[in-house]
Amino acid sequence: MIVKDVEDLLVATRDLLINNLNPVIDAINTEKGDTLLSSVTANEFHLFLRSTPPTKKFFNIYSGSISTPSNRQEKANVVEIFCEAHVIDNLSDDTYFKSLRYTRAMAQVLRDNSFFIDNSTEFIFEQISPYQELENDSFKNRIIGGVRFTIDFI
C-alpha cells in the first residue's frame, strides 16, 4: 500500500490490526492455557473517539506529532502513531492481564508487519505501555495499554 497522508496511514494501521490481531490473540490464549482475551471485531476500532463506547473493550488509533519535509535534509514525512487497547472491567488481576496481552498482541502484529507501507523506509517502536489508568476518568474501571511508533513515508 502506498500512503499519501496521515489519514491513509491511520486507516492502514487500523486495517492491519483488524485483519491480523485475532490469530495472535488465539495464540496467546493457547500459550497461557485460558481464554482471557476475546476476539476483536471491526466495530471495536476507532480513529476519532468522541466518547467511550458501551463495550468491555475498544481500540483507539490516532496520530501524534507529524514532521513534514523541509528544504533541509529531510525527504520523508515522519508520523507518530498511537494504538491503544482500552479494557473496561472490574479492576482485578485479569483486567490488568487483558491490558498486557492486548498490548503484546498489537506489538507483535506491528512488529511482524513493520513494512506494511510500501513507501516507508523506517519503522521504530517508541514505547510499549502496558498499563495506564486515566485520572478523572468517568469509567473508573478502565485500564489502557498501548503501542506508540513512528513511521516515515515519502
pLDDT in tens, 101-110: 999 999 999 9
Kindly tell me if the per-residue pLDDT of 32 is higher than 60: yes
Specify whether the CB–CB gap between 9 and 16 falls below 8 A. no
Q: What is the mean pLDDT of the chain?
A: 86
pLDDT tens, residue by residue, 36-70: 999 999 999 999 776 767 788 899 999 987 887 76
Per DSSP, helices labelled H in 53-115 are 93-112
The percentage of the chain sitting over the pLDDT mark of 90, rounded to a whole number, equals: 45
The pLDDT score that the predictor gives to residue 132 is 62
What region does 136 belong to: left with phi over 0, alpha with psi -120 to 50, or beta? left
Homologous superfamily of 6-153 in CATH?
Answer: Phage minor tail protein U (3.30.70.1700)
Q: What predicted TM-score, i.e. pTM, was given to this entire model?
A: 0.86
In which residue are the cell numbers 488509533 written? 61
User: What are the residue boundaries of the structural domains of the chain, listed by start?
Assistant: 6-153
- Fill in the amino acid letter for 145: G
